[in-house]
Amino acid sequence: MPVVNVSCYVCLSVCLRASERGSGWCLLWCGGEGRLVSRTSKTRPNNMWVPSLSHSLKAMEGRGKQQQTHFYCCAYSSSPLSVVDIAMKLIERTAGRPMLSEKRRATLESMYALVGTHSAVKLCRWQKSMMRGRGGCYKWTMYGIQSHQCMEATPSMACANKCVFCWRLNTNPTATEWKWQVDDPQTVVDGMLSSHRALIQGVRGMPGVTEKALEEAMNPKHCALSLVGESVLYPYVNTFLHLLHERGLSTFLVNNGQFPDALRELTPVTQLYLSVDAPNRETMKLLDRPVFPDYWERFQQSMVHMSERKERTVFRLTMINGFNMSEENLLEYKTLFETGRPNFVELKRLTPAFSGNSRSILRIKNVPSWEQLKAYGRRLCEVIFDGKAYEVASLHEHSGCVLLAEKRFKIDGNWHTWIDFGKFHAMVIDPALSKQITADAYLRPTPRWALPESAAEGFDPSQTRHLTARRLKHMAAAKVAND
């Protein structure tokens, strides 16, 4: 594997993405500032150094190390783990800067358990809640994931959006490409699990937490890649996912539609999400504050790639009164959904993370009521494919989430939105079977208490609901604002 003066992480990230597509050769040239030309082929090119690139090399000679053109060619194979070998050899030749500055790292350490130079984990309130017998999150109700065995994480804290409703308060970096030091995926996975278990130990002794729940929580069975940032931006995301699956963890990966090429090349996950925060270009610019100038075109291309995926796909909508849930928006959603054809649609009520921020464009009146959320979900079902494709399949009133599902998941009159994790893992770790993964291949029936007609509205009857004074105060304020 010949390597010439590799010191650009932009080149590195593209090379690694190419390497995960299969066997072949990847020829890269970069001016050192992200101006990139990439050529790939299944066989070694006859003329490795094309004239235009050779001319660029000669032109840059003698200009000093900082301005020198970076140019290399590397062989790659189809084995996921070979990507790591290639990456490590490249990284040994250079030392990229870390993603987080010392100041930003100090800020983020108060919010997350940081892992390496660009990853993180965090305990959410639902993990603690289920360990105390006080109920699980929507993923338990709708898909059968026990909240206390879920690890919320990210391999990339950088994001291409600065959403006004982000509950992470935009404390993480923004970026359009990877340009930092890259941590080995094995180290990232090990660090995540170690940090997660350390956080779980901190729950020991909390009222209501049993030893059984604690022991189960120490061995997570699921990884929710939705903590912060954009996971598909991580150069080794496919190897990272492979390592999680090898350890028996299922994966829900959320992406914001700004990296369509990475989405197209992504290895199968248990459930793939696309955040659909707005039904049109103008509203997306207002709510998501994207970094890419061609954000809408990228989003539309990502939607096409979502329609081509074989595993379970979900469109996740953060519903905001006055911005993205009007009657006029319904036809815009219809166009998007009929292009992307998701298996499921999650309507999630706006979380008032903006509370107390006078500069935010959002107010408590923008948080829809539970009845408004359910009504809008029903209207979407009526409009998309003229009412022939989706129905409300499940509810989770406790966190304000409505699930729409394709009618094909209603088998013999019974909804099958839960996941058979054993079947998924048997398929995903087998190279031959992984190519046969489809959304229908790993289904389980949805329990009655999780169905929309249940009086429990998604709350597991084996748990005991507990509302804090703060929660009751928020619910009262939201009710007044919506009256």
Domain boundaries, the chain: 9-91, 103-482
Structure tokens given for 10: 């932009």
Lowest mean pLDDT among 74-88, 152-166, 247-261: 74-88
pLDDT band of 168, cuts 50, 70, 90: confident
pLDDT band of 81, cuts 50, 70, 90: very low
- Residue 479's pLDDT is 64
Average pLDDT score over residue span 330-347: 98
Look at residue 235 and tell me whether its pLDDT is greater than 70.
Answer: yes
Structure tokens given for 317: 């909508």
Look at residue 92 and tell me whether its pLDDT is greater than 60.
Answer: no
- Residue 41's pLDDT is 44
Look at residue 51 and tell me whether its pLDDT is greater than 90.
Answer: no
Query: How much of the chain exceeds pLDDT 70, in percent?
Result: 77
Over residues 249-290, the pLDDT tens digits come to 999 999 999 999 999 999 999 999 999 999 999 999 999 999
Q: What are the b/e assignments for 90-122, b being 16+ CB within 10 Å?
A: bbeeeebeebbeeeeeeebeeebbbbbbbbbbb
Over residues 388-439, the pLDDT tens digits come to 999 999 999 999 999 999 999 999 999 999 999 999 999 999 999 998 999 9
pTM: 0.80
Strand segments (E) across 111-203: 113-115, 119-122, 150-154
How far is C-alpha 129 from the chain's CA centre? 23
Q: Are 91 and 74 in contact (CB under 8 A)?
A: no
The string of DSSP letters for 271-334 reads EEEEE---SSHHHHHHHH-BSSTTHHHHHHHHHHHHHH--SEEEEEEEE-TTTS-SHHHHHHHH
Give the CATH H-level superfamily of domain 103-482: Aldolase class I (3.20.20.70)
